[in-house]
Amino acid sequence: MTSPETKTCPNCGHINSTKNTICTRCESSLEKSATMLKKEASAEKKERKQKDRYNRYQAQEQQREQYQDKQKTNRRELAQEGEVTIKGVDIPFMDLVILLVKLSIASIPAAIIVAVIGFVVMGALGRFASLLS
Ligand SMILES: [Zn+2]
């Protein structure tokens, strides 16, 4: 039991005289009572919980920021991919000849298609003109 003349050590429970500021058995401070310590501990716990929540929030924020950063760089990369700049053509002569031959061969059906489109358009225009007159 604690009397006005004694202090119970909050650490080991040893009863010390009020003159002592340090427990004679375990040398821990007698300045704080056990209830104060308990209160402090609960406050600390609360603080830790808040800190935890804050840390979690920060981590989430960081994650979101990283995600946004990633998206930004992705978008930038896409934009860069969209712009293809040809800085020079380095084709061996025979490859170039083959390419040109292929182009001229391909230009035959291309010309036919263009001609067909031209005929269709001209025909439609002709019919339109005959309707007007
Ligand atoms: Zn003690």
pLDDT(2) > 60: no
pLDDT (average), residues 112-129: 93
Between the CA atoms of 70, 74, 79 and 81, what dihedral angle is there, to the nearest 10 degrees? 140
Q: How far does the centroid of ligand 1 lie from the alpha carbon of residue 40, in Å?
A: 18
Q: How far does the centroid of ligand 1 lie from the alpha carbon of residue 41, in Å?
A: 18
pTM above 0.75, yes or no: no
Q: How far does the centroid of ligand 1 lie from the alpha carbon of residue 42, in Å?
A: 21
pLDDT for 131: 86
- Higher confidence at residue 79 or residue 18? 18
Q: How far does the centroid of ligand 1 lie from the alpha carbon of residue 7, in Å?
A: 10
pLDDT for 9: 86
For the chain, percent of residues with pLDDT exceeding 90: 46
Q: How far does the centroid of ligand 1 lie from the alpha carbon of residue 15, in Å?
A: 8
- Higher confidence at residue 38 or residue 92? 92
